[in-house]
Amino acid sequence: LESVKEKFREIKRLIIVACGTAYHAGLIGEYMLEEYARIPVETEFGSEFRYRKPILNKNTAVLAISQSGETADTLAAVKEAKEKGIFALGIVNTVGSTIARETDAGVYNHAGPEIGVASTKAFTSQLEVLALWTLLLGRQREMSLVTGQRIAKELLKIPELVQKTLNLKESIEKLAQKYKDFRNFLFIGRKYNYPVALEGALKLKEISYIHAEGYGGGEMKHGPIALIDKNFPTFAIATVDSVYEKMISNIQEIKARGGSIIALTTEGNEEIKKLADEVIYIPKTLEMLTPILSVIPLQLFAYYMGVLRGCDVDKPRNLAKSVTVE
């Protein structure tokens, strides 16, 4: 990025294009960049962007996120942007991939080969790259040195916190044993954890073939709450953050309607035990970095659910690792 760093100062609007899990990473990146770099950001499916005649100008940049760097719809979105003379960037895991070649600049995840079809470590590394990108663009703009240093220090702690979260695997396997026969799940979160709810639902669909829906907590009263009963468990991502009280309100709504709650929260939060049927604790970190940790128990839950149901979790039916056709 060094060769185009000054070009970043000209960006007045950023459009993130991606598909599947990478799209969920893009949504989290949108929140990071708008909050800390103060750049207007839109996150779109590559498959929608390429057909909807987007309004682009010289101060717009497009950022493509793709594990393989070959995702057909995301690549088409990049080509659409390039044809209009738009500055295009990429975050890809595969060195020398087509998106890496077609974009003006970018970052490799360096997550190593990801063999399983369902993306996990690539998602984590995409979030880390987006956090670093937020630091770069933020410091070019209004972000204070103190804020930048605080984020950088927390990022340095992330590997240790990830390992601590991975150590929850035995308790999550027991949780999967308890819930393996349920056929429907709801995942809810707010702000940074809303895309995590989407990702948790996607992982459960992908590798255990269980119907799951991901929603923003604030949308419950706009339809999803009609589904709640004793046979429709809810995974509530309620880390202690700026929207924690709102999430508690959502949990209370679900409990009042007979729904069971699996709550994912921050270490030290004892009050949630009064409301939730099951509680998973993750380490505390900055709110913007929380998804790096909060997604891990959801990935593990989907994995164990798939294994217990006899599914091939590495090669789920009907799916391909790299979607190179429409």
Question: What per-residue string of b and e applies to 49-70 under the rule 16 or more CB within 10 Å gives b?
Answer: bbeeebebeeebbbbbbbbbbb
CA torsion angle for 129, 130, 131, 135 (degrees, to 10)?
A: 100
What Cα–Cα distance (Å) separates residue 241 from each residue in 96, 189, 217, 286? 39, 12, 14, 9
Predicted confidence at residue 323, as pLDDT, reads: 63
**CATH code of the domain in which 234 resides:** 3.40.50.10490
185: in domain: yes
Pair 136, 217 in one domain: no
State the pTM of this model: 0.93
In a domain, 69, yes or no: yes
Rounded to whole angstroms, the Cα distance separating 202 from 212 reads 7
Give the number of other CB atoms < 10 A from CB of residue 136: 14
Task: Print the domain residue range for 83.
Answer: 2-143
- Report in angstroms the alpha-carbon separations of 315 from 64, 139, 296: 25, 42, 20
Q: What is the pLDDT of residue 322?
A: 60
| Average pLDDT of adjacent 10-residue blocks, the chain of 326 residues | 81 94 97 96 92 87 93 91 92 92 92 83 95 94 95 97 97 96 96 98 95 94 89 96 95 94 96 96 98 98 95 80 61
Q: How many domains does the chain have?
A: 2
Q: How far apart are CA 13 and CA 44, in angstroms?
A: 13
Is the domain of 196 the same as that of 62? no
Question: Tokens 């995974």, residue?
Answer: 235
